[in-house]
Amino acid sequence: MKFFSRKSNIKRRVLFVGHCYYHTWYLSCELRKLGWNADVLNIDGNEASQKYYHGEDFRFRYGGKRNKLYQLFFFFKSLFVYDIFHFSNAHALRFGDYIHEIFKNYFGEYSEIKLLKKLGKKIVYSNNGCLDGVSQTSFSQWGPENVCDICIWKNHPEICSDSRNLSWGKIRNELADYQIACGGNRADYNDDPRIHEVPEFYCMDSAFLYPDLTIPPEYQLQYPKTTVKIYHSVGNFESRTDGENKKNIKCTHIIIPLIDRLKSEGYPVEMIFFTDIPSKNIRYYQVQADIVVDMLTYGWFGANIREAMMLGKPCICFLRPEWLESVKKEIPDYVKELPIISATPDTIYSVLRDLIEHPEKQMEIGRRCREFAVKWHSAEAGAKRLDRIYSDLLHE
């Protein structure tokens, strides 16, 4: 079992408690170059989730007395080693399930986080989507499409409901000193001055994802050079898709018939679809795509589009005008430079056909996507932004 291995720099010490895909790992690596003692603690006991992570310094394992003692020791030792504790993901403002339950049983809900605050530690939190502090009722009112109608979690209150989402948003806002978001979904508890647009947090290694990536033979797709490959991907496809109607929030049910229509009209297109591929390997398929199509109703984009932009691919998804305006208030250049092509279920056919018919547009937009991703979503950009945020918090 690994404990603390690096010497700590006074007042430049941060622990990322829990993964946010690979973002926290690449951030920690770059923050170290800026003089921070930055570590990543994996508190996820779900083995199926490990394929989304690219590295860590410490990991909690569950079951057995030895693992419990290790976690308790780690928690109390961390009180002396770190000044900032950065958490991510809805309902995960906790120091792992075991420690959370112990403190909850003896001292009340989220008491381990309250202890950190009493000791003067700074709490940072990263938002992760539509069920993070916003009620289902509020989110469903964003237009022009009712996004919740195609989401399988709509009728699963144990995952998403007004009461669950809002109760989480309330405690989250009470505990966090600084919150990070990207997308402008400002409703309910996300309409708060402590929440800031920080797209740089959702970062990648630009040397890991790049347009000239060498593709191992086992990942090479066998299509004629003239084929226009349309990439679409859904993580955990089976659990996130309505088996009867084939609907999901990624709009797979719209994209598949669209590709069939284009084929019937004589366009040399193929849809390349993948799910549950480890994120270190999915890049080999992404880089072979010509165009990437993602969510057409949600209103923003996630890791799939960010990765595709870093690989220099033209990307299509729906960008909700209200959210663009919200983001623009804090970081106008981000919105001004954003090269993603916005499309809805009503416009995706004409938008996609135009790109297919004009390969020079694909090249130009792809080039701009790469430049944008390096500027705003590289690990270097993330470390510079978080360095300023963390430093300001420590100097308050």
- What class does CATH assign to 13-203+379-395? alpha beta
Contact 171, 90 (CB under 8 A): no
Nearest CA-CA partner of 179 in 167, 190, 168 = 190
Burial class (CB in 10 A: 0-12, 13-18, 19+), 314: buried
Q: Where are the domains of the chain?
A: 13-203+379-395, 217-376
Compute the distance between CA of residue 106 and CA of residue 61 in angstroms, rounded to an integer: 22
**How far is CA 318 from each of CA 1, 156, 289, rounded to the nearest angstrom?**
45, 25, 19
* pLDDT reported for residue 254: 95
Rounded CA gap, 351 and 356, in Å? 9
The pLDDT of residue 246 is: 78
Q: Which two tokens stand for residue 156?
A: 């699963």
Domains 13-203+379-395 and 217-376 share a fold: yes
Residues in contact with 146: Cβ distance below 8 Å, sequence separation at least 6, in sequence order: 140
Contact 318, 298 (CB under 8 A): yes
pLDDT of residue 5: 47
Report residue 356: phi and psi, to 5°.
-60, -40
Confidence at residue 93, expressed as pLDDT on a 0 to 100 scale: 95
Residue length of the chain: 396
Q: What is the pLDDT along the chain (396 residues), one digit of tens a residue?
A: 555 544 444 579 999 999 999 999 999 999 999 999 999 999 999 998 999 999 999 999 999 999 999 999 999 999 999 999 999 999 999 999 999 999 999 999 999 999 999 999 999 999 988 999 999 999 999 989 899 999 999 999 999 999 999 999 999 999 999 999 999 899 999 999 999 999 999 999 999 999 999 999 999 999 999 999 999 998 888 888 987 777 999 999 999 999 999 999 999 999 999 888 999 999 999 999 999 999 999 999 999 999 999 999 999 999 999 999 999 999 999 999 999 999 999 999 999 999 999 999 999 999 999 999 999 999 999 999 999 999 999 987
- What pLDDT score was predicted for residue 391? 96
Q: Pairing relation of β-strands 291-293 and 122-126?
A: unpaired
CA 151 to chain CA centroid, Å, is: 18
| CATH entry, 217-376, from 3.40.50.450, 3.40.50.970, 3.40.50.2000, 3.30.70.3290 | 3.40.50.2000
In this predicted structure, what is the pLDDT of residue 315? Answer: 98
Amino acid 9: pLDDT:
46
pLDDT, position 128: 86
pLDDT (0 to 100) of residue 237: 85
Token pair recorded at residue 155: 């009728």
